[in-house]
Amino acid sequence: MTPIETEITSLKKELSNMWLLVQSQLSKARESMVNFDKDLAREVLVKEKRVNSFELKIDRDCENIFALHCPVAIDLRFLLAALKINTNLERIGDIAAGVAKYVIESPVNFNKSALESTSIIRMYDEAINIVIDTRTAFENEDTAMARSIFKRDETLDAVNRNATNTIGELVKADISGLNEYLFMLSIIRKLERIGDQSKNIAEEIIFYVEAKILKHSGAKNK
């Protein structure tokens, strides 16, 4: 391989490793929420620093490749996409940390029936699966899988749309659980943003593989 090919291969591996760490963060934050495990939630917050370190290193590596090799064509598109994917992954890591903070701050365990009625667990599982599938699309340069993310995000949007009414009904039935239900509503809002970040990533995968820009166009909805 040429020097630039070697460095880009290394960069792809770094991004995949960051992806795996973010997936792990999401899964652990979910487990801490379901089991009200504050120690696991604290572990998520500690490892957030590793996610941030990954972001900084990947940014630096991209800058170095730009400076040393003046990439063109697909190499240039990949580097531009990598910078944006890197940012979106870091934001998903922030969302996992945010969920963990709610677990730590909540004085009581989240009500199991409330978790079920709000569909928050189903939403969380789908959010994690979407992140996993965007990684697969990235590693395999699979634009068909990347495009499937746009449709699957609608599941997260639907739960988010219904959340206010659902939480409102829970509060009416049990005002003593107000703080707990507000935490749950905040978690739902955060999970919805995972779909947005994943769609951004899917757009970047399509951009660097096919040289098609989907942002601000109707193409991603077709």
Tell me the per-residue pLDDT of 9-47, one tens digit each, with 9 for 90 and over.
999 999 999 999 999 999 999 999 999 999 999 999 999
Tell me the average pLDDT across 95-123. Answer: 93
**Measured distance CA(97)–CA(80) in Å, rounded:** 27
Q: Is the pLDDT of residue 195 over 80?
A: yes
Q: Is the pLDDT of residue 222 over 50?
A: no
Residue with tokens 């193409």: 219
Tell me the average pLDDT across 121-126. Answer: 95
Name, of 111-120, 128-137, 154-163, 205-214, the range with top average pLDDT: 128-137
Convert the pLDDT of each residue in 144-179 to its tens digit: 999 999 999 998 999 999 999 999 999 999 998 899
Q: What is the pLDDT of residue 218?
A: 55
**Nearest one of 83, 193, 79 to 131, comparing CA atoms:** 193
Contact between residue 26 and residue 135 where contact means Cβ atoms under 8 Å apart: no
Mean model confidence pLDDT for the chain: 93
Q: How many residues in the chain?
A: 222
Scored b (16 or more CB within 10 A) or e, 111-120 reads beebbeebbb
The pLDDT confidence band at residue 184, using thresholds 50, 70 and 90, is very high
Burial class of residue 135 in the structure, from the number of CB atoms within 10 Å of its CB (0-12 exposed, 13-18 middle, 19+ buried): buried
Tell me the average pLDDT across 47-62. Answer: 96
Q: What is the pLDDT of residue 215?
A: 63
Q: What is the pLDDT of residue 212?
A: 72
pTM for this model (two decimals): 0.92
Q: Is the pLDDT of residue 66 over 90?
A: yes
Contact between residue 137 and residue 200 where contact means Cβ atoms under 8 Å apart: no
Q: 16 is written with which tokens?
A: 């995949």
Contact between residue 183 and residue 105 where contact means Cβ atoms under 8 Å apart: yes
Distances in whole angstroms, Cα of residue 137 to Cα of each of 52, 88, 143, 214: 23, 15, 7, 16
